[in-house]
């Protein structure tokens, strides 16, 4: 007997269908969690699982204080990449996998251990990235600075040592200078929004939320770059 599909998958499939057919167009706000619970006759846990997967796929993004909105996500394609860039895709995916293992827990530790000064450093790094995006300047260094600031906020030297071992090269899009979609302003703003979710959880000293936000952020990156390997 075929296994019954998990409830979240039905929600994911229907919302993806609505996004793809234009019923939920770019910039449209998703229904609130209570409305989705009522619409699909599922629990809030199921709704949140579905939304987390849609976020990881780059289809929706949160706007603080407003809700979840559909994004016009750039299409990732290997077209235009050099042979060297194409050959580096597997290594990039391995790096993201390593970062998921290290940084999800670093975010959780930072959430319960960070000092006010360390929180300010994370916030400042994210602000620098926002400024770089607005100015049309490269944001890889600022992106890495954000992740290093989170690692430093653990007050455990092994976390920043692990990240500094690879430096800004651990930020995937820095390895693909010929990938226009990775430099798309909307894409970069989505990344910034994911950072803000991590920052908010750390500021609130909520380890579980910080862990989940960092994992969603890195898994979204993993899914984007897996598309290049197809």
List, as one string, the DSSP characters of 134-203. HTT---HHHHHHHHHHHHHTTT-THHHHHHHTTGGGGSGGGG-TT-GGGG-HHHHHHHHHHHHHHHHHHH
DSSP state of 23: S
Kindly tell me the sign of the dihedral angle through the C-alpha atoms of 88, 92, 93, 94: positive
The average pLDDT across 121-129 equals: 97
Topology (CATH) of 83-229: 1.20.120
117 or 54, greater pLDDT:
117
Contact 222, 100 (CB under 8 A): yes
109 or 2, greater pLDDT:
109
According to the model, what pLDDT value does residue 1 have? 33
Tell me the CATH number of domain 7-70, given options 1.10.10.10, 2.60.40.10, 3.50.50.60, 3.90.1150.10. Answer: 1.10.10.10
pLDDT in tens, 186-204: 788 888 989 999 999 999 9
Q: Is 110 helix (H, G, I), strand (E, B) or coil?
A: helix
Give the model's confidence band at 76: pLDDT under 50 very low, under 70 low, under 90 confident, else very high: low
pLDDT in tens, 146-172: 999 999 999 999 999 999 999 998 998
According to the model, what pLDDT value does residue 190 have? 84
The average pLDDT across 18-23 equals: 77
Residue 141: pLDDT above 80? yes
The pairs formed by 179-184 with CB atoms below 8 angstroms and a separation of 24 or more are 179/76, 179/80, 179/81, 179/85, 179/228, 180/80, 181/74, 181/75, 181/76, 181/77, 182/74, 182/76, 184/74
According to the model, what pLDDT value does residue 70 have? 86
Q: What is the chain's mean pLDDT, rounded?
A: 87
Residue 179: pLDDT above 90? no
The average pLDDT across 74-94 equals: 74
Q: Which residue ranges does the chain devote to CATH 1.10.10.10? A: 7-70
Query: What is the Cα gyration radius of the chain?
Result: 18
Give the model's confidence band at 4: pLDDT under 50 very low, under 70 low, under 90 confident, else very high: very low
Cα-to-chain-centroid distance, residue 225: 12
Q: Which residue ranges does the chain devote to CATH 1.20.120.530? A: 83-229
The average pLDDT across 130-157 equals: 95
Give the model's confidence band at 2: pLDDT under 50 very low, under 70 low, under 90 confident, else very high: very low
230 or 158, greater pLDDT:
158
Residue 5: pLDDT above 70? no
């Amino acid at each position: 007997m075929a296994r019954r599909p998990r409830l979240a998958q039905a929600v994911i499939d229907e919302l993806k269908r609505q996004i793809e057919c234009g019923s939920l167009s770019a910039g449209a706000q998703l229904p609130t969690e209570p409305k989705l619970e009522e619409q699909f006759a599922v629990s809030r846990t199921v709704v949140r699982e579905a939304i987390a997967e849609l976020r990881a796929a780059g289809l929706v993004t949160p706007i603080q204080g407003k809700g979840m909105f559909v994004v016009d996500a750039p299409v990732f394609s290997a077209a235009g990449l050099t042979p060297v860039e194409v050959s580096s895709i597997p290594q990039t995916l391995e790096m993201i996998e390593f970062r998921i293992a290290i940084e999800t827990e670093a975010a959780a530790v930072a959430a319960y251990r960070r000092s006010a000064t360390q929180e300010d450093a994370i916030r400042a790094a994210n602000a620098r990235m926002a400024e770089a995006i607005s100015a049309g300047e490269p944001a890889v260094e600022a992106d890495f600075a954000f992740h290093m600031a989170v690692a430093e906020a653990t007050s455990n030297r092994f976390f920043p040592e692990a990240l500094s071992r690879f430096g800004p090269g651990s930020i995937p899009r820095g390895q693909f200078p010929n990938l226009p979609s990775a430099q798309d302003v909307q894409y970069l703003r989505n990344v910034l929004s994911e950072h803000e979710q991590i920052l908010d959880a750390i500021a609130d000293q909520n380890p579980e939320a910080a862990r989940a936000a960092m994992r969603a952020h890195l898994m979204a990156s993993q899914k984007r770059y897996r598309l290049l390997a197809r």
